[in-house]
Amino acid sequence: MGGIAVLAKQEGHRVTGCDANVYPPMSTQLEAQGIELIEGFSPEQTKLNPDIYVIGNVVSRGNPLMEEILNQGLPYISGPQWLAENVLQGKWVLAVAGTHGKTTTSSMLAWVLEYAGLAPGFLIGGVPENFGVSARLPQTPGLAKSKQDAKSTSPFFVIEADEYDTAFFDKRSKFVHYRPRTAVLNNLEFDHADIFDDLAAIEKQFHHLVRTVPQQGLVVSNKQESLQRVIDKGCWSNLEYFGSAGGWEVQNVDAQGRFDVVFKGERQGNLSWDILGEHNRMNALAVIAAARHVGVAPCIAIEALSEFKNVKRRMEIKGVVNDITVYDDFAHHPTAIDTTVAGLRSKVGKARILAVLEPRSNTMKLGVMKNALPASLKEANLVFCYGANLGWDAAEALSTIKDKASVYEDLNTMVAAIAMAAKPGDYVLVMSNGGFGGVHQKILDAIK
C-alpha cells in the first residue's frame, strides 16, 4: 500500500494515508515522498474529502473509518484494482509470485532491467538498495528525471505478486489483478493459514494467475511438486523451468559463492556476488530467465546481478559492536528461517550464530508452523524467541532444542540475555516481519 501511494503521488495526485504503528523503512519513505501519514482510523478523516479511498487488506469490517465510508456511500477501491486500472493497463507486466523470495527476486529483476537501460516501473514490498524506493512509475529510457516524457516511457513494469487476498470485499489473491506477460513462480508452500485452508487452496489461486498469462507470454517456474501441480492444471503460455536439468541451472559453485549459469546445457556466464544462500541462486536463475523474455541477454543480466545490493531487511547489517555483527532479516516462515540461517552459516563457517526470532506473521501466531520451528533453527548455536502475544506455547514448541533455545515474554529481558551471551566474533541474526520493538538497536546498545 505504501508503494501504491508513492505511485499515485508520482502521477500527480495528492495522497494521504492512515495506518496503525507505521515503522521504517516504509514510514520514512512515505515522509520523504511528501505523503501525509495519519495515525489511526478516525472517521474524522472523511472530512479530507478525497476522490477515492484505496483500501488495503489490513482493513476489515468494524474499522471505524471504513464503517463511515460505507455509511456515507463514499467511493472506494482495493489497492490491486486501483493499480491495475491506473498504472498497469497497457504495460508489459513482469510479476514475481511465490511463498518465499518475492521481494528479493522482484528487486533483482527491476535492477537487471534498469541496468540494461529499459527503465522499468516497479512495485516491491521492500526497499531495494539499488533504487532507494519501493515503487516508481516507468521512466523514459536515457532521459534525466527532470526531462521525463510520459509519451515515451518504458513499457515494462515489475511487480511483487502476492497471493494474499485483495481486500475484505475481494477475497481473490492480489496477483489475479495484475495480468502479467511474464510470470515467475518461485516456489509454493503452505502459508497464510488465516485465509487458506490448505495447500490445494493456494495452488488454485496460483493457477488463476497462470490462466491470465497470454499465449505469447512466459511462465518461469520452479519444478517443485506443488508448482508442477499448478502447471499440470493447464498452461497456455511458453514455459521455462529453473533449478532442474534441461532448464536454467546452477553449476560449479565455488567456496566464494560464485557459480555458472547454464541454460539447456549451455553455459551463459559466471555470477560473482555477495548474496547468501542456495535460495538466492535460484532467485537469480528466475530473474535471468524473465529478463531474457524482454530481450536482456543472459550475459547482461549476470553482469547486472553482480552489482545487486539486496533489499533492506534482507540480511541487512544493522551494526557491529565489539566484533559482534547484528543482522536484520524479514524471515517469518520456517522455510525462510531455515534458508536465512543456512545462508549465514555458509558465510561465517564455524562462528557462532545467535538467532533472535519473533513469530509475528498471522500464520505463525496461529501456531500452524510451530512444529517446524526447531528444524528451521538447526544451524543456529543459540536461539532467543520472543513469545509474547502468541496463541501457543513457544517454549513447548522449541522443547526439542531447549538446550540452546530460550523464550521471553519481555523484550528488555531478552535483550539483556542476548547481550550477556554474545561474544566477540558472534553473529546475531534478528528475524521478524515487523518492527520488533526496535530490538536491533537495543541489542547493539546493550552490547556496547
Closest to 4 in 3D by CA, of 114, 82, 104, 107: 82
- C-alpha 345/C-alpha 348 separation (Å) is 5
Could you tell me which of 217, 215, 218, 281 has the C-alpha nearest to residue 248? 281
> In this predicted structure, what is the pLDDT of residue 150?
60
Residues 6+ apart with CB under 8 A from 292: 298, 301
CA distances for 184 relative to 18, 166, 236, 433, angstroms: 32, 20, 15, 23
Q: What share of the chain is helix, strand, coil (3-state, %, to 5)?
A: 35, 20, 40
Strand partners, 158: 94, 122
- Tell me the C-alpha distance between 296 and 117, whole Å: 10
Residue pair 135/151 in contact by the 8 Å Cβ criterion? no
pLDDT tens track, the chain, 448 positions = 888 999 999 999 999 999 988 777 778 878 888 998 898 999 999 999 999 999 998 999 999 999 999 999 999 999 999 999 999 999 999 999 998 889 999 999 999 999 999 999 999 988 888 998 889 999 998 765 555 566 679 999 999 999 989 999 999 999 999 999 999 999 888 776 676 778 899 999 999 999 999 999 999 999 999 999 999 999 999 999 999 888 999 999 887 789 999 999 999 999 998 887 888 899 999 999 999 999 999 999 999 999 998 776 777 889 999 999 999 988 778 888 888 898 889 888 999 999 999 987 766 767 777 888 899 999 999 999 998 888 888 889 899 998 999 999 999 999 999 999 999 999 999 998 777 888 999 999 999 9
- How far apart CA 368 and CA 382 sit, in angstroms, is 23
Residue 330: exposed, middle, or buried by beta-carbon count in 10 A (0-12, 13-18, 19+)?
Answer: buried
DSSP per-residue letters across 359-425: --SHHHHHTTTGGGHHHHTTT-SEEEEE-TT-SS-HHHHTGGGTTTEEEESSHHHHHHHHHHH--TT
DSSP annotation of 150: G
As beta bridge partners, residue 78 has 55
**Omega of the bond leading into 25 within 30 degrees of 0 (cis):** yes
The number of residues in the chain equals: 448
Joined together, the cell numbers standing for residue 125 give 514490498
Type and span of the H or E element at 342: helix 334-348
| Helix, strand or coil, per DSSP, at residue 292 | helix
CB 180 within 8 A of CB 95: yes
Query: What domains lie within the chain, and their CATH numbers?
Result: 2-74 (3.40.50.720), 82-305 (3.40.1190.10), 316-447 (3.90.190.20)
